[in-house]
Amino acid sequence: MTETPAPKTILLVSGLSGAGKTTALKTLEDMGWEVVDNLPLVLLDRLLDTPLAAGHSEADERPLAIGIDARTRGFDANAIVRRIKALREKHGHDVETLFLDCSGSELERRFAETRRRHPLALDRPAADGIARERELTAPLRRWAAQVIDTTTFSSNALQQEIRNRYARERLSDPVLTILSFGFSRGVPRNADLMFDMRYLRNPHWEDALRPRTGQDAEVAAYIAQDPAYEDSIRRIEELLATLLPRYAEGGKSYITVAFGCTGGRHRSVHVAERVARYLQDAGFSPTVSHRNMESAPQDALEKRRPGGPKAQS
């Protein structure tokens, strides 16, 4: 008699061409996942029913990541959604969907840099293929439990994001990231909460502090002298201590709290470091990331010197 296969952990990885699916799957494979890319949907049952090799037990079962996108034979986003529901409800498999998104302009830039043709626009501009693929995959994006926008991600940043989200020993608490960034270099797309630190005094206009960062004690002391600093940051810390447990109770797995200033090198870095220490002392386990801290200081980005004319571009 044929045994019923044990429930499996399955991650369906999809998204737009050029958004990072290959990088995500390679990272999962490096983490110990079994990875299959571009599997036709009609072969999914056969794959799941395939027994382990001789000498292996269910304890050796690895989580399974399946890559699928608009290039996959027989691709039908609505049919895939129905298949996911069936895998959960009829077979008891733990199925989750990850969708990798990206802005159209960034995808066009990536295709131009690599000199690759978009798979859905081999004889037309890449923008046509991107628009078509976005339309075809829309049901999957709406259904996906996790969406990662890779517009501002490097390959290394996406790899780290995948490791944080899909380590095999997953924690019950949400993965908490404290991020600093510069508004002049773009707003982070994956932030759940965002705080603007541009109301604080700006170390950029002090010659001795300009080349330093918010991790330096002198910069931190300068920012802390702002009359609004202590009360406002304390209120933010208290707000986060109240909100973060509620997010966890609601089942949110990943939380990114972003602090921004103009260039992303001084005020946002210092406040992110301080808030992370506060949250750590309060029992949370934050990871700190400084997106623009290593960027070169530029007067043109800072717009205006206090008490003086606009900076010259």
Q: What are the phi and psi torsion angles at 41 (to 5°)?
A: -60, -35
CA distance 199 to 217: 20
Sheet containing strand 94-101, edge to edge, reads 34-37, 64-67, 9-15, 94-101, 146-149
User: Tokens for 154?
Assistant: 């490097």
Residue numbers belonging to the annotated binding site for ATP: 15-22
Sheet containing strand 175-182, edge to edge, reads 193-196, 254-261, 175-182, 286-290
pLDDT in tens, the chain (313 residues): 445 455 578 898 999 999 999 999 998 998 888 899 887 777 777 777 666 555 444 544 688 898 988 877 777 778 877 877 777 776 667 788 899 999 999 999 998 888 888 888 888 888 998 999 999 888 888 888 899 999 988 888 898 888 888 876 544 567 899 999 999 989 998 899 999 999 999 999 999 999 999 999 999 999 999 999 999 999 999 999 999 988 877 767 789 999 999 999 999 999 999 999 999 999 898 999 999 998 877 766 776 665 554 443 3
Q: Which amino acid is at 277?
A: R
Please report the pLDDT score of residue 5 as a whole number.
52
| CATH superfamily label, 10-51+59-166 | P-loop containing nucleotide triphosphate hydrolases (3.40.50.300)
CA distance 220 to 225: 9
Cβ–Cβ < 8 Å for 51, 60: no
CA distance 40 to 74: 7
Half-sphere exposure (Cβ direction) of 284: Cα atoms closer than 13 Å? 26
Half-sphere exposure (Cβ direction) of 187: Cα atoms closer than 13 Å? 7
Burial of 67 (0-12, 13-18, 19+ CB in 10 A): buried
Cβ–Cβ < 8 Å for 279, 240: yes
Cβ–Cβ < 8 Å for 225, 201: yes
Cβ–Cβ < 8 Å for 241, 162: no
Residue numbers belonging to the annotated binding site for GTP: 69-72
- Tell me where in the chain the CATH 3.40.50.300 domain(s) lie: 10-51+59-166
Residue numbers belonging to the annotated binding site: 15-22, 69-72
